[in-house]
Amino acid sequence: MEKIALLNLKGEKLKDIKINNEIFGIEPNKNVLYDAIILTRASLRQGTHKTKNRSEVSGGGRKPWRQKGTGHARQGSIRATQWVGGGVPFGPRPRDYSIKMNRKERRLALISALSTKAEDMMVVESLTLKTPKTKELKSLLEGLKLENTNTLIIVKELEENMILASRNLQNVVLIDASEVNVLDLISADKILTTEEAIRSIEEVLK
């Protein structure tokens, strides 16, 4: 895929523009792409989950009853793991879920994602709003027939009007060209971007 249509905000074709085939037209590496998605999702996990084991639960310092002669099973503490209110055996502990991936693999994964989604990409001449109203952005998306589609909007630089207008739309994710990532690309049904944003991505990845 060496060319892509440049549209106006009504969805009408203006001309074809060239795109870098080494970024938007390679055979995607599915294994690296999968690893990058797992890495991104893992990095979103806080890892702050924690349960208390029997040494951390308060109480239970005294043996509840004598060892023999009561008819009960022998017990050493009411905070042992088999007791209600006792410690939790093998429960989750705080941990870091992050996964390492080298720079070449990260780059290949991002290019694979861009190549995978190249056919779902719509490039418009500009993406600016006169007001910070969601209604204006919704009208813009309707003109491009994207109103009911999970859309990733990529701009060269974030503008306040666009940020404010997009945050109430559940099916829209707005990022700038420097924040392009595998998970957002793969999760989107359509990608709406500008020629400036594409050139910025190409400059970083070339």
Cβ(142)–Cβ(172) under 8 Å?
no
Q: What is the pLDDT, as a whole number, of residue 122?
A: 93
Would you identify the CATH topology of the domain 3-27+102-205? Ribosomal Protein L4; Chain: A; (3.40.1370)
Residues 6 or more apart from 41 whose CB is under 8 A from it?
183
Question: What is the arithmetic mean of pLDDT over 173-193?
Answer: 94
Share of the chain above pLDDT 70, in %: 100
Burial class (CB in 10 A: 0-12, 13-18, 19+), 120: middle
User: Which pLDDT tens digit goes with each residue over 9-58?
Assistant: 888 888 889 999 899 989 999 999 999 999 999 999 999 999 999 999 99
In Å, how far from its chain's centre is CA 129?
A: 25
Q: Which two structure tokens, joined as six digits, stand for 61?
A: 């310092």
* Annotated domain spans of the chain: 3-27+102-205
Q: What is the pLDDT, as a whole number, of residue 27?
A: 93
Q: What is the pLDDT, as a whole number, of residue 1?
A: 58
Residues 6 or more apart from 162 whose CB is under 8 A from it?
127, 128, 129, 137, 153, 155, 174
With CA atoms as reference, report the closest residue to 38 among 186, 204, 190: 186
Question: What pTM did the predictor assign?
Answer: 0.81
With CA atoms as reference, report the closest residue to 156 among 191, 117, 199: 199
Question: If pLDDT is split at 50, 70 and 90, which confidence band does 3 have?
Answer: confident
Q: Which two structure tokens, joined as six digits, stand for 76?
A: 């050493």
Q: Which two structure tokens, joined as six digits, stand for 171?
A: 């099916």
Compute the half-sphere exposure of residue 53: CA atoms within 13 Å on the CB side of its CA. 6
Task: Name the phi and psi angles at 193, rounded to 5.
Answer: -145, 180
